[in-house]
Amino acid sequence: MRLSSGAAATKASMSTTPNSIIGAPTPRIDGPLKTTGTAEYAADFHFDRLVHAMPIGAPFASGRITKLDASPAESMPGVLLVLHHGNIGPLFRTVPGDDNATNSEVRAPFEDEVIRHWGQYVAVVIAETLEQATAAAAAVTVEYAPDTANVRTSLDDYKGERKTVSNRGDVDQAFDNAPVKIDAKYITPVETHNPIEMHASVVVWDGDRVTLYETSQGVVNHRAVMAQVLGVPIENVRVVTRFLGSGFGGKLFPWPHAAMAAVAARKLNRPVKLSVTRRMMFSNVGYRPRTEQHIQLGATKEGKLLALRHEYVNNTSMLDDFDEGCGEATPYLYSVANLEVTGGMARRNMGAPMWMRGPGAVPGLYALESGMNELADELGMDPMQLRLKNDAEKDESHDNIPFSSRHFRECFEVGAKKFGWERRTPAIGSMQRDGKILGWGLAGASWVAMRLPCTATVEFCADGRLCVRCGTQDIGTGTYTIFAQVVYEKTGVPLDRIDVILGDSSLPSGPMSGGSMVTGSVLNAIAAGADNAIKRLQQIAATTQGSPLRGAKVETVAFTGGRLHLKDQDANSGAHFADILGAAKLNRVSAEGKTVATWEDPKAKGFSLHSYGAQFVEVEWEPDIARLGVSRVVTVIDAGRIINPAAAINQVAGAVVMGVGMGMLEETRYDERTGQPINGNFADYIVATCADTPDIDVTFLNYPDPIMGEYGARGVGEIGLAGVAAAITAAVHHATGVRVRELPVRIEDLLKSKIVSV
C-alpha cells in the first residue's frame, strides 16, 4: 500500500510548526502494549473470586416460554446461580431523553417470556468455571409454545409506511419525461459485525457501586444506559474500556448481556465475566440489516440528471425501530432538480439491527452508485464523466447552503490518473492480462462530518510528563496516538513523555467512537485544553518565588518546547515547566478544553459538512474456472486534514478490504423455518482475508476543512468502505457482462456470462 499526498495538500496546510507532527506518519504509541499482549481488553480483566456466566438462547424465532426448569443445572458442580425471567428482579428500559442514554434494544433482558428472535437469551448460568457454566447451560430445560415467525428473507412484501427523507421538484413528471432512464432494484444482505474481539462484560460491585469492564465504543453512554437499566444512581456506575479489538458499530451501545452480568454479580457479590460466543455474535449483538432499494434515474441524452428517486426498505426487529438510513448521501451528492428519497422498515423475528461501518451511506451508495454506473452504460458515457457532469456545487437538499470543503471532482481526477482509467476500453471482456479478463469499475463515496460536544483536560506534571484525558475510547483506529500528536504539537513535549488516558466513563465527557467523529470532535477540545493549561503555567511562572520569570508580565512569557521563557529571549534562557512547578511546590497544573458541537456553532450551521472519495476497482476474471478476484483498488479520499497518515491509510485500506467482503463474500443467511443464522460461525460466514486483499493504493487529498476547527480534520473510519461494492459490481459487469444487483456477487451469477474463455 502506498500513500500519496496530493500536491494541493501541502499548499493548503494549516500547520503551525515547520516540522509539524500533525500530518506526519506516526507509529502507534500503544503499539508496544498491543504487540506484547499487555493491552487489557474487556475479557482480560481478572479479579479474585471471579465467576463465569454462560447464556442460553431460544432455539426458534417466535413463541413463549411455558416452563423453565433450572433445578438440574443448579445441582451441577460449581453452579452458583441460574438467572431468568422468574428471578432476575427489576430491570428497566432507558428513559427517553435522560442523559441521551441510547440502548441497542428497547427491551430489558428477561423482561417477559416472549421469544422474538432465534437465540434470544432466556436464561444465564453462573458457575465457578466457564466449563461448569457451559455444561450447566445445556442442562437447563426450557419448554416453549412456538408461534409462527416471520423470518422471510425478502422484504418485497413490505406495505407499511414510507417516510420521506428528502424531496425537491417533481420526480414523477421529470422521470416520466426523461429521454434516458434507469429503473433498477438493488439488494444488500444482512452482514454481521465480526470484530476480532468479541463482546464481553466483566462486572465488579463494591457495595452499591459498580464497575463494568466492557468492550464499548462509548463508555459515557454505556454508563448512562447501565445506570438506568439497573436502576442505580449514575454516579455509582463506572465503565472502563481501555482497548477495543474493533467493533465496526456493533459496540456503540450496550447489549443485554451487560445487564445480565451486572445483576448476577450483584446477587452473588462476586465479580462476573460474561463472554459472548462467536455464534451468539450472529444473533444477539446486532448486524447490518438487509436492504432492498429502488433507484430511478432520469437524464438527458447528454447525461444531465433530471430525476432521482431512491426508495429503500430495511428489516428491523419486532420491538425496535431501526432505520438504516440508506438515503443519507443521496440528496446532496449530485445536482438534480427533482429528487425523492423515502424509507421504510419491515419487521422480522430477528434480533435488533445495529449501525455497521458507514451505516446508511454504505448500502445507500451501493445502490445509487450502481444506478449511476448503469446510467453511464445506457448513455454510452464514461461513468466518471457522468459524475463530473452532475457534480453538485452546493447542497441542494439544504437550501443550497455551501459545502464546507468538497473535492469530489478532484478525487475522481486524481484517482483516474493513478489507476490509468484512460486506458479502459468499455466493451465487455475487452481487456485482458496474463490470460485473465480484466474488469474496471468506479464509484463515488461520501460520509457525513460532524463535531460532537466533548471535554478534554491537559495536565502538566512536576515530573516533566504531560497527561491528556478524555472519556472517549480508541476503537483500534489510532485515537491514542493522534491525541498525543496534538499535545506534542501544542507543547513541544515529545510523545514518550505524553500519557493519553481514555476509555473510562469517569473521565471528562467524550464522544462515542462512531460516525468517524472522534478525531474531528476531540482534537479541538485537546487543543483548547493545551492552550488553557499553558496559560496557567505562564501565570505560575510569572508569579512564583524562585521562578526565573517572576515579576515578568504574563503577556511577555512564551512557552516553547516545554520551556517557559521571555518572548524576546531564547527558549534555553528560561526554565522547564517541571522546574517551575517544582518551585511553586505544585504536583501538577491542568486545564480543560471544550468542543462545541457543529449544530451549536453558528459558523458551522450554514455549511454542509461531508467527506468524499472515489473508488477505482480492477477485477480479474478467469472464465474457464469461474474464478473472480479483486486485483487492484485505487482509493482517493477527501476527509479534511489527515492527522496521522499511517493510521489513516490503515483505516481506508481496511475499509477497502471490508468492501471486498461486502461485494463478494459477506452475507448472514437465516433458516426460514427457525430464524437461526445458518452460517453463524467463522467457517461459514466468509470475511475477506489476506488472500482476498488486492493491491490497494490510498491517496488523501488532505484539504483542511475550515469549518471543522483548528485542525480541519473530518475523520476517516468509515468513508473507505463507501462505493467499493458498486465499483466492484461495475468492474464485474465490464469483465463478464453480468449485471449483479444483489450482493454479494456469487459464482452462480457469473456462470451466466457469455464470455466463456480468454
List residues binding ligand MOS (CB under 6 A).
217, 249, 252, 355-357, 359, 514-515
Is the separation of the CB atoms in 751 and 392 below 8 Å?
Answer: no
Q: β-strand 114-115 against 2-5: which pairing, if any?
A: unpaired
For ligand MOS, the closer CB: 238 or 357? 357
Q: How far is the CB of 279 from ligand MOS (least distance, A)?
A: 22
Characterize the bridge pairing of strands 695-700 and 2-5. Answer: parallel
Q: Residues 708, 520: contact at Cβ < 8 Å? A: yes
C-alpha cell at 256: 443485554
To ligand MOS, the closest distance from the beta carbon of 473 in angstroms equals: 11
Query: Between 136 and 252, whose beta carbon lies closer to ligand MOS?
Result: 252
Here the cell at position 739 is 449485471
Q: How far is the CB of 586 from ligand MOS (least distance, A)?
A: 40
**Minimum CB distance to ligand MOS, residue 544 (Å):** 46
To ligand MOS, the closest distance from the beta carbon of 513 in angstroms equals: 6
CA angle 576, 578, 579 (to 5 degrees): 70
Beta bridge partners of 457: 469, 592
Question: Residue 79 and residue 123: Cα distance in Å, rounded?
Answer: 14
What is the spatial distance between Cα 145 and Cα 654, in angstroms, rounded to a whole number?
Answer: 45
Judged by beta carbon, residue 528 or residue 716, the one nearer ligand MOS is 716
Which residue, 491 or 611, has its beta carbon nearer to ligand MOS? 611
**β-sheet bridge partners, residue 506:** none
Q: Closer to ligand MOS at the Cβ: 360 or 712?
A: 360
Tell me how far apart the alpha carbons of residues 51 and 146 are, in angstroms, rounded to a whole number.
Answer: 33
Sheet holding 141-146, edge to edge: 114-115, 63-69, 141-146
Per the CB < 8 A criterion, the answer to whether 327 and 165 are in contact is yes
CB of 126 to ligand MOS, least distance (A): 30
Closest to ligand MOS by CB, 363 or 415: 363
Query: What gap in Å lies between CA 176 and CA 183, rounded to an integer?
Result: 11
Cα(525)–Cα(196) distance, integer angstroms:
31
**Minimum CB distance to ligand MOS smaller for 213 or for 355:** 355
Known catalytic membership, residue 718: yes
Residue 178 Cβ vs ligand MOS, minimum distance, rounded to whole Å: 35
Q: Which of 600, 718, 742, 748 is catalytic?
A: 718
Give the Cα separation of 401 and 622 in Å (integer). Answer: 48
Using CB atoms within 10 A of its CB, is residue 122 exposed (0-12), middle (13-18) or buried (19+)? buried
- Provide, rounded to whole angstroms, the least separation between the CB of residue 50 and ligand MOS: 29
∠ CA 123-90-217, rounded to 5°: 70
Q: Residue 241's closest CA among 499, 470, 518? A: 470
* Dist. CA 105–CA 258, nearest whole Å: 12
**Smallest gap, in angstroms, from Cβ of residue 449 to ligand MOS?**
13
Kindly tell me the sign of the dihedral angle through the C-alpha atoms of 662, 451, 218, 522: positive
Which is closer to ligand MOS, CB of 171 or CB of 657? 657
List Cβ neighbours of 655 (8 Å cut-off, separation of 6 or more): 357, 358, 717, 718, 719, 720, 721, 724
From residue 181, give the alpha-carbon distance in Å to each of 355, 372, 575, 741. 32, 11, 72, 17
Tell the smallest beta-carbon distance from residue 515 to ligand MOS (Å).
4
For residue 84, the cross-strand partners are: 123
User: Given the complex with ligand MOS, which of 452 and 730 has the nearer CB atom?
Assistant: 452
Locate cell 500536491: which residue?
7
User: Which residue in the shown chain puts its C-beta closest to ligand MOS?
Assistant: 249
- We find the least distance from the C-beta atom of residue 120 to ligand MOS, in angstroms, to be 23
Which three three-digit cell numbers place residue 161? Answer: 409506511
Nearest residue (CB) to ligand MOS, 593 versus 720: 720
Residue 207 makes CB contacts below 8 A (sequence gap 6+) with none
- At 757, which amino acid appears? S
Q: How far is the CB of 244 from ligand MOS (least distance, A)?
A: 10
Minimum CB distance to ligand MOS, residue 717 (Å)? 7
The gap from C-alpha 590 to its chain's centroid, in whole angstroms, comes to: 31
**CA distance readout (Å), 238 to 203, 247, 285, 509, 660:** 10, 20, 22, 13, 39
How many Cα atoms within 13 Å fall on the side-chain side of residue 684? 11
Cβ–Cβ under 8 Å, residues 413 and 632: no
Q: Within a 10 A sphere around the Cβ of 337, how many other Cβ atoms?
A: 15
Please say whether the beta carbons of 59 and 72 come within 8 A. no
Angle at which helix 256-268 crosses helix 219-230, to 10 degrees, equals 60
| Spatial contact of 70 and 123, defined as CB atoms under 8 Å apart | yes
Nearer to ligand MOS, 240 or 450 (CB): 450
Task: Confirm if 507 and 522 have CB atoms less than 8 A apart.
Answer: no
Pick the closer one to ligand MOS by CB: 249 or 661: 249
Cβ nearer to ligand MOS, comparing 514 with 529: 514
Q: Please give the helix or strand (H or E) that residue 262 lies within, else none.
A: helix 256-268
Known catalytic residues are: 718
